[in-house]
A = this chain, B = another copy of it.
Amino acid sequence: MRLSDAIEEFIKTMMMEQDEPEIELKRNEMAEYFRCAPSQINYVLSTRFTPDHGYVTESKRGGGGCIRIIRIQRKNGEFLKYLLEERIGDAISPRAAQILCGKLAEQGAISQRTAQLMYSAIAPESLAVPIPEMLKDKLRARMLRSMLTTVARHGPAGGEG
């Protein structure tokens, strides 16, 4: 298993066990525990604990410094609203779109299958036509908004419908 995955899991497990929406950790301690460079911890945070993933982080340097990881909890439908009104905007990368679809499923706003279906529509392979990447990002945003609007209209998907 990848180191990054192990660290990610460790942190999430820690949050689960403490049943707290936030935890504090010492970067150097973590690095020592996993026998890796301290900056590895930053890498994990910046690739797996972003706002798109549903987390925000804070930190304090200097003596007694630490990193705080906070899980954002949104009520049913709020996340969807946030995506449509703020997050997606008029362009979005494939990677971000994938993360957001995954997050929607995790939150139960859509089923895992619907998430896969949505992502398969906007994945790079689907958009493999000769147009600038910039346009693809715009297309993706439009499609995603359109699909999410449909989801919002027709209820939280996944069901038999």
Interface residues of A (CB under 8 A from B): 1-2, 5, 63-64, 111-114, 116-118, 120-123, 125-131, 135, 138-139, 142-143, 146-147, 149-151, 153-155, 157-161
- Shortest Cβ distance from A157 into chain B, in angstroms? 6
- Per the bound structure, the CA–CA distance linking A129 and B135 in Å amounts to 7
Give how many copies assemble into the complex: 2
- Contact at B158–A161, with CB atoms within 8 Å? yes
Question: Given A121-B122, A129-B135, A113–B161 Cβ distance below 8 Å?
Answer: yes
- Contact at B150–A117, with CB atoms within 8 Å? yes
Residues of chain B within 8 A of A138, CB atoms compared: 129
Residues of chain B within 8 A of A122, CB atoms compared: 121, 143
Can you list 5 A-B pairs with a CB-CB distance of less than 8 A? A113-B151, A116-B161, A117-B154, A117-B157, A121-B146
Residue of B nearest to A142 (CB): B126
- Shortest Cβ distance from A136 into chain B, in angstroms? 9
